[in-house]
Amino acid sequence: MTFQQLWQLRARFARRLSVMYGREVPAYTTLVDVSAAVNEDHLARHGADAERLGSIDRVTAERHGAIRVGSPRELAQVARVFAAFGMHPVGFYDLRDASASSVPVVSTAFRPTDPEELARNPFRVFTSMLAADDPRFFDRELQRQLEEFIGHRTLFPQELLDLADRAAEHGGLAEPDAERLLDLATGSFELSAEPVDHAWYRRLEAVSAVAADIGGVPTTHINHLTPRVLDIDDLYARMEALGIAMIDEIQGPPRWDGPDVLLRQTSFRALAEDRVFRFEDGTVGPGALRVRFGEVEQRGVALTPAGRDLYDRMVAETDRRLAAGEGRGVRVDVARTVWEENLPRTEKELAVQGLAYFTYALDRDALARAGESVPGPGVSLEVLIEAGVAVPQPIVYEDFLPRSAAGIFRSNLTDEGFRDDAQRGTDYDLTVLSDVVGRPVADPHDLYRRQQDASVARLREELAAVAAR
223 binds, among ligand OOG, Ni ion, none (CB under 5 to 8 A by kind): ligand OOG
How far apart, in whole angstroms, are the C-alpha atoms of residue 444 and residue 449? Answer: 9
Q: How many residues does the chain have?
A: 469
In DSSP terms, which residues pair with 267 in a beta bridge? 295
Q: Please pick, from the candidates 6, 38, 66, 362, the single residue that binds Ni ion as defined by CB under 5 A.
A: 66
- Contacts with ligand OOG by CB under 6 A lie at 66, 68, 126, 128, 223, 265, 295, 400, 404-405, 408-409
How far apart, in whole angstroms, are the C-alpha atoms of residue 221 and residue 245? Answer: 24
- 127 or 226: whose CB is closer to Ni ion? 226
Binding mask 15-54 for Ni ion (x = CB under 5 A): ----------------------------------------
How far apart, in whole angstroms, are the C-alpha atoms of residue 352 and residue 387? Answer: 11
Q: For residue 226, give the nearest of 100, 105, 99, 405 by alpha carbon.
A: 405
DSSP 291-335: --EEEEEEE-BPBPHHHHHHHHHHHHHHHHHHHTTGGGG-HHHHH
Stretch that binds Ni ion, among 12-20, 198-206, 224-232, 332-340 (CB under 5 A): 224-232
Instruction: Give the residue nearest to ligand OOG (CB).
Output: 405
Q: For residue 32, give the nearest of 52, 55, 14, 53 by alpha carbon.
A: 14
**Cα pseudo-dihedral 140, 195, 226, 316, rounded to 10:** -30
How far apart, in whole angstroms, are the C-alpha atoms of residue 422 and residue 426? Answer: 13
The distance of closest approach from Cβ of residue 68 to ligand OOG in the complex, given in angstroms and rounded to an integer, is 5
Burial of 148 (0-12, 13-18, 19+ CB in 10 A): exposed
188 binds, among ligand OOG, Ni ion, none (CB under 5 to 8 A by kind): none
The distance of closest approach from Cβ of residue 127 to ligand OOG in the complex, given in angstroms and rounded to an integer, is 8
The distance of closest approach from Cβ of residue 179 to ligand OOG in the complex, given in angstroms and rounded to an integer, is 28
Neighbours of 449 (CB within 10 A): 16
Instruction: Give the number of residues in contact with Ni ion, rule: CB under 5 A.
Output: 3
- 117 or 295: whose CB is closer to ligand OOG? 295
Q: For residue 269, give the nearest of 286, 290, 298 by alpha carbon.
A: 290
Give the chain's radius of gyration (CA, Å).
24
Burial of 368 (0-12, 13-18, 19+ CB in 10 A): exposed
The distance of closest approach from Cβ of residue 254 to ligand OOG in the complex, given in angstroms and rounded to an integer, is 17
The distance of closest approach from Cβ of residue 58 to ligand OOG in the complex, given in angstroms and rounded to an integer, is 18
128 binds, among Ni ion, ligand OOG, none (CB under 5 to 8 A by kind): ligand OOG
Neighbours of 273 (CB within 10 A): 14
The distance of closest approach from Cβ of residue 139 to ligand OOG in the complex, given in angstroms and rounded to an integer, is 24
- 128 or 226: whose CB is closer to Ni ion? 226
How far apart, in whole angstroms, are the C-alpha atoms of residue 401 and residue 252? Answer: 8
Interface with Ni ion, residue 129, by CB under 5 A:
no
- 54 or 407: whose CB is closer to Ni ion? 407
- 13 or 358: whose CB is closer to ligand OOG? 13
Element (H, E) at 232: helix 232-241
Are the C-beta atoms of residues 305 and 223 closer than 8 Å to each other? no
127 binds, among Ni ion, ligand OOG, none (CB under 5 to 8 A by kind): none
Stretch that binds Ni ion, among 76-84, 167-175, 219-227, 307-315 (CB under 5 A): 219-227
409 binds, among Ni ion, ligand OOG, none (CB under 5 to 8 A by kind): ligand OOG
Which residues in 368-427 contact Ni ion (CB under 5 A)? Answer: none
Phi, psi of 445 (to 5 degrees): -60, -35
The distance of closest approach from Cβ of residue 225 to Ni ion in the complex, given in angstroms and rounded to an integer, is 9
The distance of closest approach from Cβ of residue 119 to ligand OOG in the complex, given in angstroms and rounded to an integer, is 21
How far apart, in whole angstroms, are the C-alpha atoms of residue 374 and residue 124? Answer: 42
Binding mask 283-322 for Ni ion (x = CB under 5 A): ------------x---------------------------
The distance of closest approach from Cβ of residue 256 to Ni ion in the complex, given in angstroms and rounded to an integer, is 23
The distance of closest approach from Cβ of residue 352 to ligand OOG in the complex, given in angstroms and rounded to an integer, is 30
- What residues make contact with Ni ion under the rule CB under 5 A? 66, 226, 295
